[in-house]
Amino acid sequence: MIRLESFPESLPQSQAPLWRVTLDRPDKANALTEDMLATLVSIAKQAQAHPNLRALVITGAGEKVFCAGADLDAARAGLATSPLWEALSGAIAALPCLTIAALNGTLAGGAMGMALACDLRLSVDRASFFYPVAKLGFLPQPSDPKRLTALIGPARTKLLLLSGAKFNAKEALSFGLIDKIVPQEALWQEAQHMAEAAISGKAEVLRAVKAMIPDGTA
């Protein structure tokens, strides 16, 4: 359900400069179970241990949904309030390499956290974005309102979290929630293009530059 690939494929995973992590449950809108969340946290921690890793791309399988958040049955059993969500976004945000969310479709609910924690967000034009915590009666992940506010400002953060607004891709781009809209068939190619400079340069320089850039959550 979580697929990890490294590029170029000729290199061992520990030496590869680029990793692609795919949420691979398209028949269930790539909704996350507890095991999937734990696997994602583990992958992010593995990435911390590989000094040659220059870029990590997170995407989803299928052409409609990146991730619908928590699996409904798992959410009712307590996953909606699990600390794993915040552990995942924190682990991604802490990565010293370039991180890219390649959003192949709609981004909803708790899945927003992993995308917000990435350095860059690409999206297909058919995607929509919503985070219905007020309607469902849950608090957002603690870091999400800070990251949202840093990207789109306090008023639009309230629009998303308190009024339950749904943004389309053009709105998300104009607000600053995503950085670029690309055709579905070009999503992976564009993610690779964005990672080219990071992959080509020195890992220690990449990490030093990223450390100089404030993340807006302080």
> Over 80: is that where the pLDDT of 217 sits?
no
Show Cβ contacts of residue 148 under 8 Å, excluding neighbours closer than 6 positions: 112, 116, 156, 157, 160, 161, 177
Q: How far apart are CA 147 and CA 154, in angstroms?
A: 10
pTM of the model as a whole: 0.96
Comparing 27 with 74, the larger pLDDT belongs to: 27
Show Cβ contacts of residue 29 under 8 Å, excluding neighbours closer than 6 positions: 64, 65, 67, 68, 106
Task: Output the pLDDT for position 51.
Answer: 92
Tracing tokens 């953060």 back to the chain, one arrives at: 157
Nearest to 64 by CA among 98, 13, 28, 110: 28
CA torsion 192-193-194-197 (nearest 10°) is: 100
pLDDT in tens, 196-209: 999 998 999 999 99
Tracing tokens 């802490």 back to the chain, one arrives at: 94
Percent pLDDT > 90 in the chain is 88
Q: How far apart are CA 22 and CA 122, in angstroms?
A: 14
pLDDT in tens, 155-210: 999 999 999 999 999 999 999 999 999 999 999 999 999 999 999 989 999 999 99
Q: What is the mean pLDDT of the chain?
A: 95
> Over 70: is that where the pLDDT of 129 sits?
yes
Burial of 85: CB neighbours in 10 Å, binned 0-12, 13-18, 19+: buried
Partners of residue 96 on adjacent β-strands:
none
Q: How far apart are CA 198 and CA 208, in angstroms?
A: 12
DSSP 8-state symbol, 167: E
